[in-house]
Amino acid sequence: MKKAILAVVLVLVLILTIATVRTMRLTSRQMQVEPVTNIQIDTTIVADHLADTLRFRTVSYPDPSKTEYSEFDALHQYLKQTFPSVYSTLEYQTVGDYSLLFTWRGQKTELKPVLLMGHIDVVPADAKNWTHPPFSGAIADGYIWGRGALDDKSTVTGLLEAVEILTKQGFRPQRTVYFAFGHDEEIAGDKGAVQVATLLKTQGIQLEFVLDEGLAITEGIVPGAPKPVALIGIAEKGFLTLELSVESVGGHSSAPPPHTTIGILSQAITKLESHQLPSSISGAAGEMLEALGPEMSWTNKMVMANLWLFRPVLLSQLQKTPPGNSLVRTTTAVTMIQGGVKENVLPASAKATANFRIKPGETVESVTEHVRRTIDNPEVKITNPHGLATNPTPVSSTESEAFRMLHKTVRQIFPETLVAPGLVTGGTDSRHYSNISKDTYRFAPFRIAKEDLVRFHGINERISVEDYGKMVEFYVQLLRNCAVNRQP
């Protein structure tokens, strides 16, 4: 008995020793650079410009008859008047009638060009409960208020402000830089980004990298991170919507079958929610944890350094929160349900809609098969009635010069911020460029806290004047860094 206890103690000591040594060997992956302090931004002027753009009701609707295209034309004219050096120095054209494509020719034609992106359209906004009306472009309490302040006119005007500053200084990039601003990103980008990507492809253009919106500088959102974290999206999840439907002959509720169509459908839904797709710490999720692990407290650092030992515990913790759960698996969300017409009539049909955000490594086909296998009931018909499905994007490299340049730029402008790769759970226009780009990254350089997450597509969308000024600084420095005579 004593020998057995001694053996257990020795094993535990060995495990603890190995874990401790591995933790001690875990070193920081944060790039050490000197902060950049020589970029002067007049925050009052740039804030006014962004506020002006928020007053244009460039709302995109799936039904084109509802879209006020005159607002897009008016915004185009405003941009031309506000950024004269951009329009006189760069080549520009409209694509798909309302999207904008600018070309800033580089001095070194042998260098692959880069593409910086944003979109000028926004989602609808009901003025109810807003502190300032959604299309007022109000500047109050240190913030710029309005639909598009975060998603995504700040990116568009921030880039244009940076180019305006640099062109007035006589700056010319070594490599060609494209700027693409779509007009229908909020409704899939079929007439904007798709056509721009097609145009570039027909010209034989291969991009070194693409930078679009997606993730941001998070404050208090990443568990265990002692500082703000700039998450640079290296992939985005796929999208799948399936309809589950059950049909019967109906009848009077006084003589019901064991399960009505609603009951059968409810069983199917319960199975789906009870048997989620598998979770894993891999891909973008794994790379994010590897980047942040060395910066955490000793306990958390030990966990990150020894996933061989603590992986089940960490997975369990991540799955307890919606953001953590969405990071480690393909998510299942039943979003709509219909059935029944009267309290004493058996429902002849019932249907529900389930939405899946597909993690890299899985596909539309594999998720659909999981749904069929899990429900395992021929009475439940499974269809994709609207054809809404996209596979996850390829995962971009974190070892590339492009990622290192983004990392460097973040650290130069936001020196107290940690940098890590991340996974975008929504969709962006950048996915349309995957066949002409070596790598695609998704990051907008503004700060968001937990309470700000509901502002995206929600009430009281806003960005602070200070943060917007830092965005412009970031884009100025990014363009400077892009100018070096190497890849990229």
Query: DSSP label at 452?
Result: G
Query: DSSP label at 29?
Result: -
> Residue 246: beta bridge partners?
350
Q: Is residue 185 flagged as an active site residue?
A: yes
User: For strand 437-449 and strand 207-219, is the pairing parallel, antiparallel, or unpaired?
Assistant: parallel
Cα(423)–Cα(361) distance, integer angstroms: 13
317-328 burial, b if ≥16 CB within 10 A, otherwise e? ebbeeeebebbb
Amino acid symbol at 217? I
CA–CA–CA angle 452, 455, 459 (5° rounding): 135
CB of 440 closer than 8 Å to CB of 204: no
Q: Which residues contact 17 (CB under 8 A, 6 or more apart)?
A: none
E strands along 196-330, which residues?
207-219, 229-236, 238-247, 251-252
As given in the structure block, the two tokens for residue 464 are 């602070």
Task: Give the Cβ contact number of residue 187 at 10 Å.
Answer: 17
User: For strand 139-140 and strand 143-145, is the pairing parallel, antiparallel, or unpaired?
Assistant: antiparallel
Amino acid symbol at 389? A
Taking alpha carbons only, the member of 488, 429, 487, 432 closest to residue 155 is 429
CA distances from 315 to 276, 312, 324 (A): 14, 5, 9
Rg (CA), the chain: 25
Active-site residue, selected from the candidate residues 151, 152, 185, 439: 185
Active-site residue, selected from the candidate residues 71, 121, 287, 461: 121
> Residue 119: beta bridge partners?
182
How many Å separate Cα 437 from the centre of its chain?
18
Cα(144)–Cα(137) distance, integer angstroms: 7
Please give the positions annotated as active site.
Answer: 121, 185
